[in-house]
Amino acid sequence: MKKIFRATNVVIAMLCAMYFITYLDRVNVSTAAAGFGPEFGLSKTQIGLVFSAFAYPYLVFQIIGGWVSDRFGAKRTLLFCGAVWAGATVLTGMAGGLASMLVARVLLGLGEGATFPAATSAMSRWVAKEKRGFAQGITHAAARVGNAVAPAAIVAVMATHGWRESFYVCAGISFVWVALWARVFTEQPKDHPRITQEELAALPPLKSKVSNVPWGKLFRRMWPVTLVYFCYGWTLWLFLSWIPQYFLHSYDLDLKKSALFASAVFFAGVVGDTLGGIVTDKLYERTGSLQKARSWMVAVCMALTLLSLIPLMLTHNLYVSMASLAAGFFFAEMTIGPMWAIPMDIAPEHSGTASGMMNTGSAFAAIVSPVISGWLIDRFGSWELPFVGSMLLMAVGVALSFRMRPETKFEEARAPQAPARAKEVSSSAA
């Protein structure tokens, strides 16, 4: 029992709770759209704008937030972020129309922009190298639990109270997490009052705080990773934004039944995230090759995602569609463990910044995927057509995954040595 409540486990549990809450606060709007959409008289394209509005500041603050967390620490970064996203969730429930809804969602993106890079920065100190894939997999699995719980939970609150109250409940949960994070987390493991020597021995050695980031060189090193993550992100945000509406409208289900089918798809992602983290660590343990454990695994899982979505194009059957979407989401989510371990593999000293660079790919996908998908549905009346884009981008991701090279560690440019030698000669002559 004492091992369960070790400091390292408590920190991972708190990060899991954060991932759960942030995704609950992101995707609650997808289900609540059944309430505010008709109330505000919004088209599918306008609803798509609401879905994607948070992604604009979310995109901007990926790299900034990663640098801030590397520079000033994950504790302060996440305390500030948590207060902002919780407040934004309250404002979403208070919205009176499209404009105020968009403002609230933009503020949500501002609050959540730095969360995952900051969490990765914390994990670089609190998680052993051989467990990075599992840590990233289990935290993202918690996010997918948020996806899976949101439809049924939001419908339950909406049915009893209304769509506005569903946002107030989510905001209250967020504020509780902020208070707990302030109490239980320390920036350095050695400063935690309940840390053991056994835990410290397994963690990476303490590194001095890095202030100067070689931006250009790091970006050039991370761009293939960012592009692969965009290909994944397109499918992620298509699923998160439109799956509840897909079952509601494509099969004319009622709100409760559509929420159950959406939750079934999202629970497949929970399993995929967890299993992906375990598999990538096991592959690394057995082969000693980051190329096989990260790049090859991502390529295989993206290919399986593409194949899983093909039945969706061939038949219009409720259960075939659910199975196809669940399998596609399962394999797509299996890429998360290896993908989020890659920034820590490539640039451990700049893991927050590097992961922020990678996540700009998903953030940009969050801007364009929901809106383009909504436009396709409005224009052609087909709820399956947006998934063709996912299949094409998964094929691109397979090809690009071998350019990520996680086995090649990022090396900063060394300072010129000539001036130092000249100074040494001058001193000896004196």
pLDDT digits (tens, 9 = 90+) for 276-328: 989 999 999 899 899 999 999 999 999 999 999 999 888 889 999 999 999 99
Cβ–Cβ under 8 Å, residues 150 and 26: no
At residue 2, the pLDDT reads 59
Q: Residue 131 has what pLDDT?
A: 83
pLDDT tens digits, one per residue of 255-264: 778 878 888 8
Q: Residue 248, SS3? A: helix
CB 108 within 8 A of CB 61: no
Per-residue pLDDT band at 424 (split at 50, 70, 90): very low
Say what the alpha-carbon torsion angle 345, 348, 227, 234 is, to the nearest 10 degrees. 90
Q: What is the pLDDT of residues 159-198, one digit of tens each?
A: 888 889 988 999 999 999 999 999 989 988 888 888 888 8
Nearest-angstrom CA–CA distance, 181 and 11: 9
Structure-model confidence comparison of residues 14 and 153, the more confident one: 14
Query: Is residue 3 over pLDDT 80?
Result: no
**What secondary structure does DSSP assign to 156-215, as a single string?**
HHHHHT-HHHHHHHHHHHHHHHHHHHHHH--SSGGG-TT--HHHHHHSPPP-PPP----H
Instruction: Please name the amino acid found at residue 82.
Output: G
Give the mean model confidence (pLDDT) for residues 385-406: 92
pLDDT value at position 157? Answer: 85
Look up residue 273 and give its DSSP letter: H
Backbone φ, ψ for residue 374 (5° rounding) = -60, -40
Q: Which of 401, 364, 393, 361 is nearest to 280 (CA)?
A: 401
Q: What values do phi and psi take at 246, rounded to 5?
A: -60, -50
CATH 3.90.1150.10 fits 7-204+214-410, yes or no: no
* C-alpha to C-alpha distance for 58 and 174, rounded to whole angstroms: 18
Beta-carbon neighbour count of residue 394 at 10 Å? 26
Burial of 101 (0-12, 13-18, 19+ CB in 10 A): buried
pLDDT band at 211 (very low <50, low <70, confident <90, very high): low
69 and 117 Cβ atoms separated by less than 8 Å: yes
Q: Give the distance from CA 217 to its chain's centroid.
A: 24
Q: What is the pTM of this model?
A: 0.74
The band of 223, judged by pLDDT with boundaries at 50, 70 and 90, is very high
Of these ranges, 2-16, 139-153, 250-264, 388-402, the one predicted with the greatest mean pLDDT is: 388-402
Q: What residues contact 80, with CB distance under 8 A and at least 6 apart?
A: none
Residue range 238-259: mean pLDDT, rounded: 80
The pLDDT value recorded for residue 420 is 42
For residue 415, the model assigns a pLDDT of 42
> In this predicted model, what pLDDT tens digit does every residue of 346-384 receive, in sequence order?
987 787 788 889 988 988 898 888 888 888 888 887 888
Measured distance between the N- and C-terminal CA atoms of the chain, rounded to whole angstroms: 66
Burial of 329 (0-12, 13-18, 19+ CB in 10 A): buried
pLDDT value at residue 275: 92
> What H or E segment, with its residue span, contains residue 115?
helix 115-126
HSE value, Cβ hemisphere, 13 Å, CA-based, for 239:
34
Residue 40 has pLDDT above 70, yes or no: yes
Higher pLDDT, 216 or 306: 306
pLDDT: which is higher, 97 or 424: 97
Q: Please report the pLDDT score of residue 102 as a whole number.
A: 92
Backbone angles phi, psi at 195, to 5 degrees: -70, 145
Q: Is the pLDDT of residue 33 over 70?
A: yes
Contact status, residue 52 vs residue 368, Cβ threshold 8 Å: yes
In terms of pLDDT, which residue wins out, 409 or 335? 335
